[in-house]
Amino acid sequence: WGATNIRWQLKGSNAQAVDLDIYDKLIDSQLNHLEKLLPAFERNGINVIIDMHLLPGGRLDGSGPLGTAGEEAAAIYGNAAGNRALAEEKYYRAYLETWRRIAARFSKYPIIAGYDLFNEPMQTLDMPHDYLSIQYDAAREIRKIDPERMIIISPNHWGGPDGFLDFTPLPLKNIVYQTHFYNPGEYTHQGVFWNSKIGTRYPGVISGIYTDRKRLAMLMKPVVEFQKKYGAEIYVGEFSAVRYAPGAARWLEDVISLFEEYGWDWSYHAFRESHFWSVEHVGPDGAHPVPADEDTDRKRVLLRYFEKNEKPE
């Protein structure tokens, strides 16, 4: 396909994260698998970003799908969002120790492009640690082991653009700031949640506002202003529209063209993880995915932009 990076998720269930012995074994098994695959990534020029998708302790409330559609998800499920690593010292210490172990193990591999410290923070409660300070603490621990590698920091509000409104850079070198873009959530996540309607079109009136490329640029504006104010490097770690959303190829074209215009790096979510985001499947809704007989219009958008990539040395 011509891709040059992959965001490798360390993931699992909340239940697996609460018991730290189980959590350590879970993460170690995934790191063992990744390490075995590194020669293949290196042969194919695909840089790997290690993404801590599941923090020790997990989320405080795992009653529904957290993240991705951000406020839309919270409105549906009423999440008291937060991570146990922010609230309980044993999970906080485990978080730092996990990153120390990862850095010590993978700092010798040039194909590891960086460390993505905290997937989609969403802190709505006062806790002993906050979403940014815990990342700063982890980054400083990593720097003791790996002084140069890229470290990726995420803002609050699920890492979405609104998280950059009151966001402050960290005083460390080679820090990249991540956003996720699933806007408007009513469009990108239609049919994903049990009570969300299907059929919202792009471009068109979404949540009462006509939404096109110009509107998407407005939604990205907090990130652009942060980038300009601080000279920050921006990485879009996730973006997508559900595969059956009317106009999804146009939405992808418009958001990627904006990323490119702003000089942002990006990773599409996701490759062979879920049929909802698959550019290799078609079907009328979330219940009826089938493999496509030919490249979908969404996949063609990705391939066209991947052609612009330069393979790493």
Contact between residue 260 and residue 309 where contact means Cβ atoms under 8 Å apart: no
The closest of 183, 179, 180 to 234, measured between CA atoms, is 179
Contact between residue 162 and residue 222 where contact means Cβ atoms under 8 Å apart: yes
Give the dihedral sign, CA 134/140/141/142: positive
Distance (Å, rounded) from C-alpha 184 to C-alpha 206? 7
Would you write out the chain's pLDDT as a tens digit for each of its 313 residues?
Answer: 999 999 999 999 989 999 999 999 999 999 999 999 999 999 999 999 999 999 999 987 644 334 444 455 455 444 556 899 998 999 999 999 999 999 999 999 999 999 999 999 988 878 899 999 999 999 999 999 999 999 999 999 999 999 999 899 999 999 999 999 999 999 999 988 766 789 999 999 999 999 999 999 999 999 999 999 999 999 999 999 999 999 999 999 999 999 999 999 999 999 999 999 999 999 887 668 999 999 999 999 999 999 999 876 6
pLDDT over 70 for what percent of the chain?
Answer: 91
Omega of the bond leading into 103 within 30 degrees of 0 (cis): no
The closest of 115, 116, 117, 120 to 59, measured between CA atoms, is 120
pTM score, two decimals? 0.93
∠ CA 108-267-248, rounded to 5°: 165
Phi then psi for 116, rounded to 5 degrees? -100, 105
Give the dihedral sign, CA 52/57/60/63: positive
Distance (Å, rounded) from C-alpha 257 to C-alpha 260? 5
The domains located in the chain, with CATH, are 5-306 (3.20.20.80)
**3-state DSSP assignment of residue 178:** strand
Give the dihedral sign, CA 73/74/79/83: positive
Give the dihedral sign, CA 247/250/256/258: negative
- Neighbouring residues of 152: CB distance < 8 A, sequence distance ≥ 6: 49, 114, 115, 116, 117, 175, 176, 177, 178, 235, 237
